[in-house]
């Protein structure tokens, strides 16, 4: 058996983030640097949001290369042979698969989905694969070679145009490098951008190349609350949930959990914020955001329009409390200066 380092996902809203964290968290020396990311949110089309300060194909800790399916077909007997060779070279295989071919998928949210292969079991003739399987939760399973062979061929022209892959398979590798660090200065400046609804530009961030083909107008930080309110208004006016509500509200909830864990880390490591009790206050935000998710699930079943008023009340409270806490954190860190000589912060 060959199994590359893999850790159960920390961020689990979108597959590109879940796969990235499953890879990076398995390399313990990089966990501190990850706390620099997942602070800034960007939104588009008033219906979608994702993190602006992390992107799998632009992460400085991950090396990637695209291999076209035509090249694979001409140089390897089967795609199974190709995947095994890449795994033997310590490269993760990030690819599109047809969900209906692979039985582990429970809910077909689309015809194809981006999965990660991180190992294989030659004895059982199966790949080790990670994705959102049963109940839409990020998990792992073994998938027979023959099913991967079947699930990766005969894509339609539209499927081949997937915004990440564009008819390619992507190889991911984490080379050995000097340990990068968490930066309090970067944390402060990222929060300032978040509160001012400005893109993060002084540090590593997701470029806008991802969106060129769609020509979206992007919004950032606190402005992305407008997207949540747009969903709530749709419930009130049209008694409907927009298609991506689960992803949007889950990412928003996930963001609050990330912020809580980051503030707790800073309290424990640097001694900041302890007397202000910010970590406990942020923890209460995470529980309230979780309640919003549960209420929306309930609305999706019952169609009780009164739920929208309760959701709006909670979102209002979270928005105000988050603003207060982050404003105060910036004041505490206002005079912070870091000696960055010899530091790898990106």
Count the helices and strands in the chain (H runs, E runs): 11, 10
CATH number at residue 37: 3.90.70
How far apart CA 18 and CA 14 sit, in angstroms, is 6
Query: Quick one: pLDDT at residue 108?
Result: 65
Let me know if 199 is exposed, middle or buried by CB neighbors in 10 A (0-12, 13-18, 19+). Answer: middle
Same domain, 30 and 160: yes
Query: Quick one: pLDDT at residue 135?
Result: 80
How far apart CA 16 and CA 42 sit, in angstroms, is 15
Total of domains in the chain = 2
- Of 173, 200, 217, the position where a domain reaches its end is 173
Same domain, 205 and 166: no
Same domain, 106 and 22: yes
Query: Quick one: pLDDT at residue 51?
Result: 94
> Residue 146's closest CA among 159, 131, 127?
127
* Residue 202 counted as domain residue: yes
- DSSP element (H, E) containing 330: helix 306-332
Same domain, 308 and 245: yes
Query: Quick one: pLDDT at residue 337?
Result: 65
Same domain, 90 and 114: yes
* Residue 179 counted as domain residue: no
- Of 173, 193, 219, the position where a domain reaches its end is 173
How far apart CA 152 and CA 106 sit, in angstroms, is 18
> Residue 146's closest CA among 86, 69, 67, 79?
79
Query: Quick one: pLDDT at residue 213?
Result: 43
Query: Quick one: pLDDT at residue 66?
Result: 94
Tally Cβ neighbours within 10 Å of residue 267: 18
Same domain, 157 and 248: no
Inter-residue contact 57 to 64 (CB < 8 Å): yes
* Domain extent for 51: 7-173
- Of 111, 143, 173, the position where a domain reaches its end is 173
Question: Which residues of the chain are modeled with pLDDT < 70?
Answer: 107-110, 202-215, 336-346
How far apart CA 288 and CA 317 sit, in angstroms, is 9
Same domain, 153 and 206: no
* Residue 341 counted as domain residue: no
Same domain, 132 and 247: no
How far apart CA 229 and CA 224 sit, in angstroms, is 9
Query: Quick one: pLDDT at residue 107?
Result: 66
Same domain, 293 and 165: no
How are beta strands 138-144 and 112-121 bridged, if at all? unpaired
Same domain, 83 and 134: yes
Residues listed for the chain: 346
Contacts of 155 (CB under 8 A, 6+ apart): 96, 98, 112, 167
Query: Quick one: pLDDT at residue 200?
Result: 86
């Amino acid at each position: 058996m060959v199994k590359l380092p893999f850790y159960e996902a920390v961020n689990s809203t979108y597959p590109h983030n879940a796969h990235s964290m499953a890879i990076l968290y398995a390399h313990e020396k990089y966990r501190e640097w990850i706390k620099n990311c997942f602070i800034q949110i960007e939104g588009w089309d008033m219906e979608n949001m994702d993190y602006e300060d992390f992107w799998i194909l632009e992460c400085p800790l991950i090396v990637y290369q695209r291999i076209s399916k035509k090249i694979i077909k001409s140089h390897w007997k089967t795609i199974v042979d190709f995947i095994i060779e890449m795994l033997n070279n310590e490269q993760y295989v990030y690819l599109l698969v047809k969900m209906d071919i692979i039985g582990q998928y429970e809910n077909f949210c689309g015809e194809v989905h981006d999965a990660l292969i991180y190992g294989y079991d030659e004895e059982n003739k199966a790949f080790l694969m990670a994705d959102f399987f049963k109940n839409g939760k990020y998990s792992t399973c073994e998938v027979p070679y023959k099913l991967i062979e079947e699930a990766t061929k005969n894509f339609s022209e539209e499927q081949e145009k997937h915004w990440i892959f564009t008819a390619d398979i992507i190889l991911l590798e984490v080379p050995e490098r000097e340990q990068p660090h968490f930066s309090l200065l970067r944390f402060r400046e990222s929060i300032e951008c978040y509160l001012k609804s400005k893109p993060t530009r002084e540090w590593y961030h997701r470029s806008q190349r991802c969106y060129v083909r769609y020509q979206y107008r992007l919004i950032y930080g606190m402005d992305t609350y407008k997207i949540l309110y747009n969903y709530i208004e749709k419930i009130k006016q049209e008694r409907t949930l927009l298609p991506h509500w689960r992803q949007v509200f889950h990412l928003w909830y996930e963001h609050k959990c990330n912020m809580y864990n980051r503030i707790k880390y800073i309290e424990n490591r640097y001694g900041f914020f302890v007397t202000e009790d910010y970590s406990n206050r942020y923890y209460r935000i995470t529980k309230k955001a979780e309640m919003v998710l549960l209420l929306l699930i309930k609305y999706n079943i019952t169609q009780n329009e009164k739920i929208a008023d309760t959701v709006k009340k909670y979102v209002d409270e979270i928005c105000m409390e988050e603003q207060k806490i982050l404003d105060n954190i910036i004041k505490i860190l206002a005079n912070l200066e870091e000696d960055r000589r010899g530091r790898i912060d990106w």
